[in-house]
Amino acid sequence: MNRGPIAEINLSALQHNLKIIKQIAKNRTVIAVVKADAYGHGAVEVSKKLVAEGVSYLAVAFTGEAKMIRDAGIDAKIIVLFDRTNISDYFKYDLIPVIHDKDIALEFSKEASTQGRPVTVHLKIDTGMGRMGFSPERAVADAIEISGMPGIKIEGLMSHFSEADLADKSYAVRQLEIFSRTQKSISEKLGYSLISHMANSAGVLSFGEALLDAVRPGLMLYGYSPFSEQYGLEPVMKVKTNILMLRDLPAEYPVSYGRTFITKRESRIAVIPTGYADGYNRLFSNNAFVLIRGKRAPVAGRVCMDITLADVTDIDGVSEGDEVVFLGRQGEDIITATELAARINTIPYDIITSLGSRARKEYLH
């Protein structure tokens, strides 16, 4: 399909970011989070590269994502963070479920006897995120009970921070304390230690005590930090297309739906074949720049479904077919997901998943 933008995925940048994670995490095991199609970068290609660079654990949200990775011939361990359905797929594709309660553990135990082989699991403790997981009060008793269920091998213990990206770490510290206490009791009672992991990107970057046995970064892999400091990370995704046509409009002429942009002078407007259907948010209307010939051109008027207009009056020598960059570097300048996120009051995660998931992808090796 010849519509919409191209997301260029730079796998060397991914490799570089993994190196930075390993340095900061002092060579602990990296559980690479590739959920949501690797945050829009393409889970299969990203996973292949990460495994080639020595990553032994991947994490996805749902079993369907894990199946795609397995079908591509990747044999790393895969942790499935959220799925409670398709239990037989865990056996078929050799996946590691995160267990959030006793009932689901029982279902896995039953399926294990049906299948005639055990399943390795990680248990999740809800230390204050309030999403999924065992309550800390019950976790020790429940873990002991689950460890006795036939066909269940508990390998890991995890939790998730709700606000490790804040400068004020007091809540994250509390969550870590609860986790550490629970983890210690469980290990004592079981008589063996479990792989414990809690740190997302924010935890890796700002909370050394939370590194534990393994780290679980997503965002950092793709070249962004949840803080203003970027720690030498390199954005992996560039989203680009080409100018479809140029319009020379007189002064006082309205541009796009609702006449929210009126030319102040004779203006040259670039018509760009990417819109909100491609994940370029409509809130970028009159509120962002694109790069053309290495310069910033302001988005003029409302972003449409398939088209965005940009004012290129101040850029010399613009031609139809010129490259337009929505996200990433062109020449000396760069538009980051952090910049775009700040413009529309969201987070870089939202920008890269929206743009990346809909674009055709090209991989630079």
Ligand X SMILES: *Cc1c(COP(=O)(O)O)cnc(C)c1O
CB of 200 to ligand X, least distance (A): 3
Contact 32, 217 (CB under 8 A): yes
What is the β-pairing status of strands 96-99 and 77-80? parallel
Report which residue's Cβ sits closest to ligand X.
Answer: 218
Which member of 66, 219, 315, 351 binds ligand X (CB under 6 A)? Answer: 219
Rounded (10°) CA dihedral 38, 41, 44, 47:
-60
User: What's the min distance (Å) between Cβ of 194 and ligand X?
Assistant: 16
Paired tokens of 30: 């990296």
- From CA 278, how far away is CA 66, in angstroms rounded? 25
Task: Choose, by CB under 6 A, the member of 33, 105, 143, 239 that binds ligand X.
Answer: 33
Minimum Å gap between C-beta 216 and ligand X is 4
Among 200, 267, 285, 338, binds ligand X (CB under 6 A): 200
Among 110, 257, 276, 349, the one annotated catalytic: 257
Contacts 24+ apart (CB under 8 A), 77-82: 79/31, 79/122, 79/156, 81/35, 82/132
Stretch that binds ligand X, among 215-223, 242-250, 313-321, 356-364 (CB under 6 A): 215-223
**SS3 call for 39:** helix
Annotated active-site residue 257? The verdict is yes
* 162 closest CA partner among 207, 194, 99, 228: 207
Looking at 16-24, 40-48, 115-123, 213-221, which segment touches ligand X (CB under 6 A)?
Answer: 213-221
Q: Does residue 147 touch ligand X according to CB under 6 A? A: no
Residue 196 touches ligand X, criterion: CB under 6 A: no
Could you say whether residue 40 binds ligand X (CB under 6 A)? no
Amino acid at 196: S
CA gap 25, 323 in Å, rounded:
38
Closer Cβ to ligand X, 233 or 272, answer by number: 233
Q: Taking CB under 6 A as the criterion, which residues in 290-329 touch ligand X?
A: none
* Using rule CB under 6 A, residue 122 touches ligand X: no
Taking CB under 6 A as the rule, does residue 81 contact ligand X? yes
Taking the least distance from each CB to ligand X, the nearer of 33 and 236 is 33
Residue 100 interacts with ligand X (CB under 6 A)?
A: no
The length of the chain in residues reads: 365
Instruction: Please state the closest distance from residue 125 (CB atom) to ligand X, in A.
Output: 12
Q: Does 11 bind ligand X (CB under 6 A)?
A: no
State which H helix or E strand residue 35 sits in.
Answer: helix 35-40
Please identify, among the stretches 212-220, 233-241, 263-271, 297-305, the one whose residues bind ligand X according to the rule CB under 6 A: 212-220
Of 100, 216, 238, 358, the one binding ligand X by CB under 6 A:
216
- Going 140 to 143 to 149 to 155, the CA torsion angle's sign is negative
Q: Compute how many residues bind ligand X; rule: CB under 6 A.
A: 11
Three-state SS for 307? coil
Using the rule CB under 6 A, is 14 a contact of ligand X? no
* CA pair distance 245, 256, nearest whole angstrom: 15
Q: How many secondary structure helices (H) and strands (E) does the chain include?
A: 11, 20
Residue with token string 């340095």: 23
Distance CA(238)–CA(218), nearest Å, equals 18
Instruction: Give the shortest CB-53-to-ligand X separation in angstroms.
Output: 17
User: What is the contact surface with ligand X in residues (CB under 6 A)?
Assistant: 33, 35, 81, 160, 200-202, 216-219
Q: Which residues are catalytic?
A: 35, 257
